């Protein structure tokens, strides 16, 4: 086992162990903070795979945008540190069995398939290539995504607005804006 | 243990996907459901990037993953706006109690 | 980085260590070095801040400790902080309470890795440099939210919510203001950005393009808000929120917040000097004798400007803060991006 393999297992553990808490923790704020570690782990796995742009974009958009929004919403919709009546073990049985079944099938496929011999090349910086692709072969999806982001921004702002009187759309727009800025760079 | 290869990433991604699926089905809190969706999206992204590195040797998988990240941000913004509207209308964020379109 | 790996190889003999060991050792050395520099600059800047505040308010500031203009005051403060009892409130969440300061400090420490101190000294010469710096800074936002929530104190939570909202919002004009420069260099690499500004003060990006000149001021205002300093120090407004998200913190943990505040202050100033003010190039072409020193002097001047603003202007209200960001600074920064692009089409890269 090489050092790279060890790093992979550490990152996989960083992704999966906190994910257990994201799923199981009765306290939704704990789940949110554990989601931070999971997202960090996934960013680490991206970096391990040589996708440097994606790793940093994951940090920027998920942790700097989505997770902040999630935590904000959690804190705005309940009193601090209150427990959520969400931990009924009985209700977890059926979903648990279903998820386990899906997992077994997926694992059988994952380990049973011959994926072909990987011929790895050294990881190159990917940013320039991704950017060039956005402006050439992927120009239509790229522009379309910008449109979707704009629509989401406006939609979130309208949804969040008080029925009448002052509007308060700042926080809801933040993630969309962050994402937009990431696309533009 | 064998060297880390594509199957390792597929296994990690499968585990992450099933955890997310379980969260979506089990959670009653709307934000908790959203967190489950984020886990599922991340597992899909992990697969995109791993396959683009090990099988295809092009950048396409990473571009798909970028789109997924961007759309996840848009999805989170809209979903959380809905959650806040729900909180305003029903006084809680329990997905099971939000049964009517109007108050 | 290369020099350092060569040096480590030299000390231990060429064949005694594997490449991985050398890499790990040099990374550890660099991280320690950056941490020491961070602690030192926090010491110097606390003293400087008090002297600047004193000068602006027509008084002396610290004068006693260490004879010459109270230079040892910061050291004495640090010793006092380290000697304090470490208190975790009974109702606080112990794990997240202790984890939050580390996360906040980690955000600033990671960002320091991509700063180009001189042509041949960058801790991590990343292809994504500038983007990476903005991305890892977002770890601190989560750290602040975590600190506020784990303290289980309403003032701390308000402070954290304000701080996070402010930092998320002002990150956008901050990054947008740097985009015209990235358009000029065609690279996010921090060293490339500095190298593109060679040849005297007129080649600095600040003076190359009128839109970048405006973007610089957008960057400066956003950077004040991003570091949570006055007149935008909403998270800690002592008249409203006691002390914001670090109300409940004492001793070493408080020192972490304190350290990261000054580290962030120096970081945004260094980025300003790197992106807009020519980095390690001296103003007159051909006089680049001490690149690292030039770079640091520019950074310290930006810090002084920041302190000047902090001690001169009154604090704004929260709604004014958000209004400024979303309805003034983001449109202006976007205009700067578009304008700089048009200017480039008209005048070329010059």
Over residues C210-215, the mean pLDDT reads 87
**How confident is the model over C227-263, as pLDDT tens digits?**
888 788 776 766 667 777 777 777 778 888 888 888 8
Is residue A167 over pLDDT 50? no
Report the alpha-carbon distance of residue B41 to residue A61 in Å, rounded: 13
Neighbour subunits, B (≥3 Cβ pairs < 8 A) = A
Is residue A33 within 8 angstroms of chain B, CB to CB?
no
Chain B residues whose CB is inside 8 A of the A179 CB are: 69-70, 73-74
Q: Which of A95, A96, A176 sits opposite B74 (nearest CB)?
A: A176
Over residues A72-92, the mean pLDDT reads 62
Which tokens go with C336? 């700067």
How far is CA C139 from each of CA A8, A68, B85, C170, C317, rounded to the nearest angstrom? 22, 10, 28, 15, 26
Residue of B nearest to A28 (CA): B32
A118 Cα to chain C: minimum distance (Å): 23
Q: What is the pLDDT of residue A29?
A: 81
Over residues C155-181, the mean pLDDT reads 86
Sign of CA dihedral C183, C186, C191, C193: negative
Q: Which of B6, B69, B74 sits opposite A58 (nearest CB)?
A: B69
CA dihedral angle for residue C282, residue C283, residue C287, residue C289, rounded to 10 degrees: -20
Q: Which domains, and CATH codes, for chain B?
A: 6-90 (1.10.287.3510)
Residue C40 CB coordination number (10 Å): 11
**How confident is the model over C106-155, as pLDDT tens digits?**
888 888 888 888 777 777 777 888 888 888 888 888 888 888 888 877 78
Q: What is the pLDDT of residue C127?
A: 80
Is residue C268 over pLDDT 60? yes
Q: C241 with C158: CB under 8 angstroms?
A: yes
pLDDT higher for C107 or A3?
C107
Is residue C348 over pLDDT 80? no
Over residues A23-47, the mean pLDDT reads 86
Helix spans in C72-209 (H): 73-83, 94-112, 129-150, 154-185, 190-195, 205-208
Q: Which residues contact C255 (CB under 8 A, 6 or more apart)?
A: C78, C81, C82
pLDDT higher for A20 or A126?
A20
Q: Do B78 and A54 touch (CB under 8 A)?
A: no
Phi then psi dihedrals of residue A104, to 5 deg: -60, -45
Report the alpha-carbon distance of residue C113 to residue C216 in Å, rounded: 23
Q: Which of B1, B35, B77 sits opposite A156 (nearest CB)?
A: B77
B 9-38 residues with CB below 8 A of A?
9-12, 14-23, 25-29, 31-32, 34-36, 38
Low-confidence ranges of chain B (pLDDT < 50): 1
Mind giving me the DSSP string for C101-128? HHHHHHHHHHHHTT-EEETTEESS--TT
Q: What is the pLDDT of residue A160?
A: 78
Q: What is the pLDDT of residue B41?
A: 92
A93 Cα to chain C: minimum distance (Å): 30
Q: What is the pLDDT of residue A47?
A: 86
**How confident is the model over C287-331, as pLDDT tens digits?**
777 888 888 888 889 999 988 888 888 888 888 888 888 888 889
DSSP-derived secondary structure letter, C92: S
Ranges of each domain in chain A: 1-78, 129-185
Report the alpha-carbon distance of residue B76 to residue B71 in Å, rounded: 8
**What is the band of A120 on the pLDDT scale with cuts at 50, 70, 90?**
low
Is residue A150 over pLDDT 80? yes
Residue B91 CB coordination number (10 Å): 11
Residue of A nearest to B32 (CA): A28
Mean pLDDT is lowest, of A13-27, B55-69, C75-89, C208-222, for C75-89
Q: Do A28 and B3 touch (CB under 8 A)?
A: no
Q: What is the pLDDT of residue B45?
A: 92
Q: Do C188 and A125 touch (CB under 8 A)?
A: no
Report the alpha-carbon distance of residue C118 to residue C122 in Å, rounded: 7
Is residue A173 over pLDDT 50? no
Q: What is the pLDDT of residue B1?
A: 46
Is residue A179 over pLDDT 50? no
**A87-113 burial by CB neighbour count: b if 16+ within 10 A, else e?**
eeeeebeebeeebeeebeebbeebeee
Q: Which residues contact C308 (CB under 8 A, 6 or more apart)?
A: C52, C56
Over residues C42-54, the mean pLDDT reads 86
What's the length of chain B?
103
**How confident is the model over A43-65, as pLDDT tens digits?**
998 888 888 888 888 888 888 88
pTM of the model: 0.83
CATH topology of domain A1-78: 1.20.120
How far is CA C70 from each of CA C52, C66, C73, C266, rounded to the nearest angstrom? 13, 5, 6, 22
Q: What is the ipTM of this complex?
A: 0.85
Is residue B58 within 8 angstroms of chain A, CB to CB?
no
Q: What is the pLDDT of residue B44?
A: 92
B99 Cα to chain A: minimum distance (Å): 18
């Amino acid at each position: 086992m090489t050092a790279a393999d060890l790093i992979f297992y550490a990152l996989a553990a960083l992704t999966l162990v906190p994910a257990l808490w994201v799923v199981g923790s009765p306290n939704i704020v704990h789940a949110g903070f554990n989601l931070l570690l999971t997202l960090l782990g996934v960013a680490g796995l991206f970096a391990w795979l040589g996708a440097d742009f994606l790793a940093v974009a994951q940090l920027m958009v998920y942790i700097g945008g989505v997770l902040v929004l999630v935590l904000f919403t959690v804190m705005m919709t309940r009193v601090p540190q209150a427990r959520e009546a969400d931990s009924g073990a009985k209700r977890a049985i059926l979903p648990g069995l279903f998820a386990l079944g899906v997992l077994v099938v997926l694992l059988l496929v994952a380990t049973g398939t011959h994926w072909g011999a990987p011929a790895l090349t050294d990881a190159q910086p990917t940013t320039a290539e991704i950017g060039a692709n956005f402006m050439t072969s992927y120009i239509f999806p790229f522009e379309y995504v910008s449109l979707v982001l704009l629509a989401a921004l406006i939609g979130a702002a309208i949804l969040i607005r008080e029925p009448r009187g002052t509007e308060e759309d700042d926080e809801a727009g933040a993630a969309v804006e962050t994402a937009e800025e990431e696309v533009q760079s | 243990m064998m060297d880390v290869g594509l199957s390792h990433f597929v296994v990690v991604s499968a585990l992450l996907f099933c955890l997310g699926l379980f969260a979506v089905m089990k959670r009653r809190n709307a934000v908790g459901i959203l967190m489950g969706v984020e886990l599922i999206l991340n597992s899909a992204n992990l697969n995109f990037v791993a396959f683009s590195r090990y099988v295809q040797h092009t950048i396409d998988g990473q571009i798909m993953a970028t789109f997924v990240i961007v759309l996840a941000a848009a999805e989170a913004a809209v979903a959380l706006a809905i959650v806040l509207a729900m909180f305003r209308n029903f006084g809680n964020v329990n997905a099971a109690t939000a049964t009517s379109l109007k108050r | 980085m290369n020099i350092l790996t060569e040096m480590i190889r030299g000390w231990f003999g060429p064949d005694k260590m594997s490449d991985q060991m050398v890499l790990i050792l040099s990374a550890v050395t660099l991280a320690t070095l950056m941490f020491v520099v961070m602690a030192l600059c926090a010491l110097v800047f606390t003293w400087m801040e008090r002297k600047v505040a004193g000068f602006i308010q027509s008084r002396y500031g610290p004068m006693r400790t260490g004879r010459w203009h109270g230079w040892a005051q910061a050291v004495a403060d640090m010793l006092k902080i380290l000697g304090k009892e470490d208190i975790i409130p009974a109702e606080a969440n112990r794990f997240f309470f202790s984890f939050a300061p580390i996360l906040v400090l980690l955000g600033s420490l990671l960002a320091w890795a991509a700063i180009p101190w001189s042509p041949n000294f960058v801790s991590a010469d990343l292809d994504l440099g500038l983007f990476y710096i903005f991305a890892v800074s977002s770890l601190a936002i989560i750290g602040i939210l975590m600190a506020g929530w784990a303290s289980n104190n309403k003032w701390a939570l308000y402070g954290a919510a304000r701080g996070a909202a402010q930092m998320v919002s002002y990150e956008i004009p901050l990054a947008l203001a740097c985009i015209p420069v990235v358009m000029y260099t065609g690279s996010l690499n921090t060293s490339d950005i500095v190298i593109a500004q060679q040849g005297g003060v007129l080649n600095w990006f600040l003076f190359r393009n009128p839109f970048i000149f405006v973007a610089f001021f957008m960057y400066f205002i956003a950077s004040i808000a991003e570091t949570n300093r006055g007149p935008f120090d909403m998270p800690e407004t002592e008249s409203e929120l006691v002390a914001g998200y670090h109300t409940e913190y004492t001793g070493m943990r408080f020192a972490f917040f304190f350290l990261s505040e000054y580290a962030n202050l120096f970081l945004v100033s260094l980025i300003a000097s790197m992106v807009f003010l020519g980095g390690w190039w001296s103003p007159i072409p051909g006089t680049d004798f001490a690149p690292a020193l030039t770079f640091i002097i520019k950074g310290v001047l930006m810090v002084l400007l920041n302190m000047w603003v902090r001690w001169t202007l009154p604090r704004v209200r929260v709604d004014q803060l958000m209004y400024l960001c979303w309805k003034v600074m983001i449109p202006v920064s976007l205009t700067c991006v578009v304008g700089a692009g048009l200017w480039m089409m008209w005048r070329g890269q010059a």
